[in-house]
């Protein structure tokens, strides 16, 4: 990022179209190379199976290419196969059918969003408590920081089992996993953000005879927003991983995690890849949504 900024400041002024091309061109070139490499890899990886099972002796290379790019269960499906499967599984079935990928995407994203809201609320509450209590700041906060180095996602199967034994199934247990993955980064960033106002700002409000509440809402909260949003992006991406992982131990009924798992049970590689692409798109959409909220709520722009 820093390198790009330095370069942009040195480069001569460009037209709007030139600027777009300057940015998008290299990305498109990289993606193009990836696409070509993908097709070559698909041919290479699928060749052994195709030669063994599908081709008659005396085949030409055109047959090899045609067959390797249209296998039912390829080692590596070609991009157009994944795109076709995505299209079929989105438009080929009614929206509430378990065969529709959008249905699974909704199951996963609803758990992610619910967990994200709960996690952000819990994280904010903890941050406010920590900022106002020296005891919690000294006693609890080091544990929250240390827990960042621990693979907390490993608790996911336990959460499913515990809440399942209490009769809770469906969206809620997955949302709980998303929640506890979201709240760590939010708490850490908010504690930093709520403490970011300097002595000068705090004393200015003191001279205005501002109450503790006024100082909190009119100074500390706005000052914490630039710290909050990057952590929200981390939180929602982690929450999505949590929701997907939460779908694994429940017998894979619904959701993108379930699609990944059933795909791997039945060796249906195209289904795995289309679920993966969908998960990636969902991740981009969720973090993009947070970035949009950031643009709207912090008029000064990102710091």
Binding range to another protein, per CB under 8 A, among 48-56, 62-70, 200-208, 258-266: 258-266
Q: Which of 15, 60, 143, 207 is close enough to bind another protein by CB under 8 A?
A: 143
Q: Which of 30, 35, 41, 125 is close enough to bind another protein by CB under 8 A?
A: 30
CA pseudo-torsion sign 275, 278, 284, 287: negative
Collapsing DSSP to helix, strand or coil, 215 comes out as helix
Q: Which of 178, 187, 269, 274 is close enough to bind another protein by CB under 8 A?
A: 269
Residue among 225, 221, 236, 197 nearest 297 (CA): 225
Q: How far is the CB of 28 from another protein (least distance, A)?
A: 8
Q: Which two tokens stand for residue 17?
A: 């179209």
Tally the residues of the chain.
303
Element (H, E) at 21: helix 16-53
Q: Is 185 exposed, middle or buried (0-12, 13-18, 19+ CB in 10 A)?
A: buried
Binding range to another protein, per CB under 8 A, among 94-102, 142-150, 206-214, 217-225: 142-150
Q: Which two tokens stand for residue 230?
A: 């990057």
Q: How far is the CB of 260 from another protein (least distance, A)?
A: 5
Contact between 168 and another protein per CB under 8 A? no
Q: What phi and psi, each to the nearest 5 degrees, are found at residue 110?
A: -65, -40
Contact between 182 and another protein per CB under 8 A? no
Q: How far is the CB of 75 from another protein (least distance, A)?
A: 7
Contact positions with another protein (CB under 8 A) in 62-91: 75
Contact between 263 and another protein per CB under 8 A? yes
> Total binding residues for another protein by CB under 8 A?
67
Per-residue string for binding with another protein, 207-236, x by CB under 8 A? --------------------------x---
* Residue with smaller CB distance to another protein, 102 or 155: 155
* Residue with smaller CB distance to another protein, 193 or 257: 257
Contact present, 194 and 226 (Cβ < 8 Å): no
Q: Which of 79, 222, 230, 249 is close enough to bind another protein by CB under 8 A?
A: 249
Q: What phi and psi, each to the nearest 5 degrees, are found at residue 94?
A: -65, 155
2: CB partners within 8 A, 6+ apart: none
Other C-beta atoms closer than 10 Å to the C-beta of 163 total: 19
Per-residue string for binding with another protein, 110-139, x by CB under 8 A? ------------------------xx-xxx
Other C-beta atoms closer than 10 Å to the C-beta of 245 total: 19
77: CB partners within 8 A, 6+ apart: 42, 71, 85, 269, 270, 273
- Residues lying near another protein in the complex (CB under 8 A) are found at 1-4, 6-7, 22-23, 25-31, 75, 134-135, 137-143, 146, 148-151, 153-158, 160-162, 165-166, 233, 237, 240-241, 244-245, 248-249, 256-257, 260-261, 263-264, 267, 269, 272-273, 275-276, 279-280, 283-284, 286-287
């Amino acid at each position: 990022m820093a390198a790009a900024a330095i370069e942009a400041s040195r480069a001569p002024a460009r037209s709007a179209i030139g600027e777009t091309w300057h940015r998008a061109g290299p990305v498109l070139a990289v993606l193009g190379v990836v696409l070509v490499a993908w097709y070559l890899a698909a041919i290479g990886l699928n060749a052994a199976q195709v030669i063994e099972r599908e081709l008659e002796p005396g085949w030409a290379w055109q047959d090899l290419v045609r067959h390797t790019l249209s296998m039912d269960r390829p080692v590596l499906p070609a991009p157009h196969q994944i795109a076709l499967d995505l299209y079929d599984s989105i438009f080929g079935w009614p929206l509430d059918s378990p065969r529709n990928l959008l249905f699974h995407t909704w199951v996963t994203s609803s758990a992610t969003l619910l967990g994200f809201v709960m996690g952000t609320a819990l994280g904010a509450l903890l941050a406010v408590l920590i900022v106002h209590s020296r005891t919690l700041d000294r006693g609890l906060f080091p544990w929250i920081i240390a827990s960042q180095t621990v693979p907390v996602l490993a608790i996911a199967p336990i959460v499913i089992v515990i809440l399942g034994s209490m009769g809770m199934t469906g969206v809620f247990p997955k949302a709980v996993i998303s929640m506890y993955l979201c709240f760590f980064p939010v708490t850490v960033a908010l504690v930093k953000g709520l403490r970011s106002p300097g002595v000068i700002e705090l004393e200015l409000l003191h001279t205005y005879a501002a109450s503790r509440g006024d100082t909190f809402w009119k100074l500390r909260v706005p000052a914490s927003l630039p710290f909050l949003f990057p952590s929200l992006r981390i939180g929602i991406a982690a929450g999505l991983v949590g929701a997907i992982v939460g779908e694994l131990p429940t017998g894979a009924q619904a959701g993108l995690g379930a699609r990944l798992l059933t795909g791997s049970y039945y060796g249906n590689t195209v289904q795995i890849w289309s679920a993966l692409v969908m998960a990636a798109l969902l991740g981009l959409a969720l973090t993009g949504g947070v970035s949009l909220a950031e643009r709207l709520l912090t008029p000064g722009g990102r710091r």
